[in-house]
Structure 1
Amino acid sequence: MSFDREREMFTATCGDCGNECQVPFKPKDDRPVYCRECFQNHKPAPRSGGRFGGRSGGYGGDRGSRFGRRDDRPREMFDAKCGDCGNDCQIPFKPKDDRPVYCRECFQNHKQN
């Protein structure tokens, strides 16, 4: 793509103030167009968390459900014994007998490896 040539601009009428303005796309009759000043009033609210859908801290934070928004119900916790240090702990899933689980501290050590 060449950036040497100037972008084609189209004349439109602002849907709010009625002033004529230039836009970098061909306006459609069924959609309003706004001038630079009025466009600020129509921008969607910014999502938190940057470009990954509002996740805080990438993949390590409170991700919620992969199928949509997390509800406000308290998470069911299960009693378990840490596979490293042997301490009793609680985890947010039902442990399987054939797989070790780790307390919060030991899990951090396994996550880094």
Structure 2
Amino acid sequence: MSFDREREMHTTTCGDCGNECQVPFKPKEDRPVYCRECFQNHKPAPRQGGGRFGGRSGGFGGDRGSRFGRRDDRPREMHDAKCGDCGNDCQVPFQPKEDRPVYCRDCFQNHKN
């Protein structure tokens, strides 16, 4: 794949202000497209958390619509658990299974590759 050529741009109408704008993808009829200025009003708020793969960033490199990202701001349902290493009580965002250990935030760091 060559990156030397310029990206094909498509002309469309902003779904907010109605101005004509250029976008680097072919717009779909069932989804609104926004100009650069209006797009700023539709960006998700930055999430707090660790770096690229840690914390609650919602996936690989942020929440850009990947299948790993969360698409809403509802609070996660948390479940009580006991850490398999230190034995402290903790909460995890999934239903723990009886046959698999669960680790608190601090101990989990020791089990990452």
TM-score norm. by structure 1 comes to 0.48
User: Which digits, 9 at most, give the CA deviation of each residue in 1:31-86, with x for residues without a partner?
Assistant: 00000010011011122323225359999999999999999999999999999999
Q: 2:15 touches 2:33 (CA, 8 Å); kept in 1?
A: yes
**Alignment length (residue pairs):** 112
* CA gap 1:57/1:69 in 2 versus in 1, 3 angstroms: closer
The CA RMSD over aligned residues, in Å, is: 7.7
Q: How many percent identity over aligned positions?
A: 91
Structure with max Cα Rg: 1
Q: 1:77 touches 1:93 (CA, 8 Å); kept in 2?
A: yes
Which stretches in structure 2 are left out of the alignment for 5+ residues? none
Give, in whole Å, the separation in 2 of the partners of 1:87 and 1:49: 22
Name the residue aligned to 2:85.
84
TM-score norm. by structure 2 comes to 0.48
Give, in whole Å, the separation in 2 of the partners of 1:25 and 1:36: 14
